[in-house]
Structure 1
Amino acid sequence: MRADISRFSGAVWRTSTYSGSENQNCVQVTDGVPGILPVHDSKQPEGPVLVFGTDAWGSFISTLA
């Protein structure tokens, strides 16, 4: 699901531990929203947010490992 960044005003974004640090292309996530994991691109801080269910995000991450 795609959401507007304003839906997450006041959220504290952190760089995902899965992002590479070599080229500053970072995925940022915010915690504290029950049942979902909001994700956005650090290069577009006012851009859209992709919202994943925590189960879907866990499945995605497990395929990367």
Structure 2
Amino acid sequence: MEVAKRPAHKLTVDEVCTELQIARSTFYDWRQKGRGPRCIRLPNGSLRVRRGDFENWLIDCEDAS
């Protein structure tokens, strides 16, 4: 019997921007430059960011000093 996994929580672009206190234009600028968190494009064209991917991206952004 296979155990069903709970789907990972996904954030909207607005939720990511609110959490980071940035403008949507900043998010899309980072995305265009390949600097933003990994995204999922839904069939309707909207973007989502897995919470785990977002947290890992934040860790990668930490200053090593």
TM above 0.5, yes or no, is: no
Given the two structures, how large is their TM-score scaled by the length of structure 2?
A: 0.31
Given the two structures, how large is their TM-score scaled by the length of structure 1?
A: 0.31
Q: Which structure shows the bigger proportion of residues in strand conformation?
A: 1
Q: Which structure shows the bigger proportion of residues in helix conformation?
A: 2
